[in-house]
Amino acid sequence: MPPLTALSVLQTTFGYPAFRGHQGDIIQNIIDGHDALVLMPTGAGKSLCYQIPAIVRRGVGVVVSPLIALMQDQVDALNELGVKAAFLNSTQDYETAQDVERQLRAGALDLLYVAPERLLMPRTLDLLQSLDIALFAIDEAHCVSQWGHDFRPEYIKLSVLHEQFPSVPRVALTATADPQTRAEIALRLQLTEAREFVSSFDRPNIRYTIVEKNNGRAQLLNYLKAEHAGDAGIVYCLSRKKVEETADFLSKNGIPALPYHAGLDISVRAANQARFLREDNLVMTATIAFGMGIDKPNVRFVAHLDLPKSIEGYYQETGRAGRDGAPANAWMAYGLQDVVQQRRMIAESEAGDDFKRVQYAKLDAMIGLCETITCRRVQLLHYFDQSSEPCGNCDTCLHPPKAVDGTEQVQKLLSTVYRVKQRFATGHIIDVLRGIDTERVQQFHHAELSTFGIGADASEAEWRAVIRQTIAQNLLTVDFESFSSLQLTELARPVLKGEQKVKLRIYEKPVKTKRTANHS
């Protein structure tokens, strides 16, 4: 029998003619016994990168994955192809696990899938010590990052693999890793010697669109009716309640939709997910609990009704669209409330200051992507350290937005915030700017302020957009400890003094409205 080569396994076992992208190099690197850190977007073909070396190398390849629910399917698919694979996790009964261990001892397996908590049990580590190990593959390696939303504490302990099995090559794989997360993976998993293979993160068939939110749900409905009648897609919302309300709302308006969030009964979740995978015209309304490991090729759109916490989250969620390569849409409605809400969640979390700082920075990058007037894809890829040309397939390329000099408008806003002693929230500030004689205005004598009514030429929605961008540019902050009042930052001073100009993005043609009440 001729020796197994990577290419012959690809062709005879998996039935594919050629490697894609870096696959060939990655596989050879591992077959040669070296470590690797693999960054590849979802759907690009990470699995073969460890499956083939596990088959070619002597011994069993151990795949660490947090996705217990998918192990059965993965193993079934491999067995179907004639690859000897099995898994060990908490869903198995004792007998089945015993049987897998017997096969391992007999050297009868090419691949073993195992959950990290199972792998780390002394008993499992002892068992593995007695075997020939072809490699360790650490899937979804970004779970090691404490700053990310998929953090799994057991992942940090996976450094024992390096200590206990120093001569076994290890490969860590992930679809989401900005340079910071990448460095964290290398450090925590002791992969500092590993070769990094970074694939292009571009998903050219996905069109990115971010609209200004006024009534998110109604905007979504219009958008889906216009662009995605009868299509399968995912709508992400922040809260469980909103997930359910949105699913109801879409269903009542003729778009079949099901909810998915971690608060639903496991059987309901499983049933909804199964229907989503099976049917071709279903919308899944979900929290971010939905999606990791979901492989449905014909998801035609991913919509966000709330702002994700980071660009990685946005990229990962939108990446579930168009895995078949056909055109797909990533659509998001974004507004002032999103910025305030996300900042509040960070401010009010129990986390330490370092953690909060990182979260604020990630959020700021996400807000920057929303507010940009240049190509969204360029910004998105830049975040992952990849440079590219304007794409022609995002809203800012297709309908270039205008940036105007908003200095005067922002000065009006900042001085109003100053004059009300930085003690009032958005709604009241807008009333003062627009010269609306509310009960509150009377109570605090704010009609006497010199800025009362100086912003009456703009609508409430326009002022919200100005405030949002002013917060996004860190000229204003929201003080959550005092009734969400708006406060000036250090950066506001040069703007107020006329030393610094401010650019504002105009989303749609501003519709001028008459003031609704008059103070004189």
Q: Which residues bind ligand ADP (CB under 6 A)?
A: 16, 19-20, 23, 40, 42-48
In the complex, minimum distance from the CB of residue 208 to Zn ion, in angstroms, rounded to a whole number: 7
Q: Which does 47 bind (CB under 5 to 8 A by kind): ligand ADP, Zn ion, none?
A: ligand ADP
The footprint of Zn ion on residues 350-379 (CB under 5 A) is 375, 377
Please name the residue ranges forming H helices in 399-459.
407-419, 426-434, 439-443
Nearer Cβ to Zn ion, position 176 or 379? 379
In the complex, minimum distance from the CB of residue 49 to ligand ADP, in angstroms, rounded to a whole number: 8
Nearer Cβ to ligand ADP, position 19 or 507? 19
Nearer Cβ to Zn ion, position 181 or 372? 372
Q: Which does 43 bind (CB under 5 to 8 A by kind): ligand ADP, Zn ion, none?
A: ligand ADP
- Name 236's bridge partners: 286, 304
Alpha-carbon gap, residue 11 to 150, rounded angstroms: 35
Side-by-side strand order, sheet with 206-212: 206-212, 328-334, 301-304, 233-236, 283-286, 257-260
Q: Any contact of residue 391 with Zn ion (CB under 5 A)?
A: yes
* 414 SS3 class: helix
441 contacts 431 by C-beta, under 8 angstroms: yes
Q: Any contact of residue 394 with Zn ion (CB under 5 A)?
A: yes
In the complex, minimum distance from the CB of residue 141 to ligand ADP, in angstroms, rounded to a whole number: 12
255 contacts 283 by C-beta, under 8 angstroms: yes
Q: Which does 86 bind (CB under 5 to 8 A by kind): Zn ion, ligand ADP, none?
A: none
In the complex, minimum distance from the CB of residue 332 to ligand ADP, in angstroms, rounded to a whole number: 23
Q: Which does 293 bind (CB under 5 to 8 A by kind): Zn ion, ligand ADP, none?
A: none
C-alpha torsion sign, points 307, 309, 314, 320: negative
Alpha-carbon gap, residue 364 to 311, rounded angstroms: 9
Q: Which does 44 bind (CB under 5 to 8 A by kind): Zn ion, ligand ADP, none?
A: ligand ADP
In the complex, minimum distance from the CB of residue 396 to Zn ion, in angstroms, rounded to a whole number: 6
Alpha-carbon gap, residue 62 to 431, rounded angstroms: 62
Which helix (H) or strand (E) element contains residue 174? strand 170-174
In the complex, minimum distance from the CB of residue 5 to ligand ADP, in angstroms, rounded to a whole number: 15
Query: How many other C-beta atoms can be found within 10 angstroms of the C-beta atom of residue 91?
Result: 12
317 contacts 328 by C-beta, under 8 angstroms: no
Q: Which does 394 bind (CB under 5 to 8 A by kind): Zn ion, ligand ADP, none?
A: Zn ion
In the complex, minimum distance from the CB of residue 274 to ligand ADP, in angstroms, rounded to a whole number: 19
Instruction: Provide the residue type at 21 as one letter.
Output: G
Binding site for Zn ion (CB under 5 A): 375, 377, 391, 394, 397
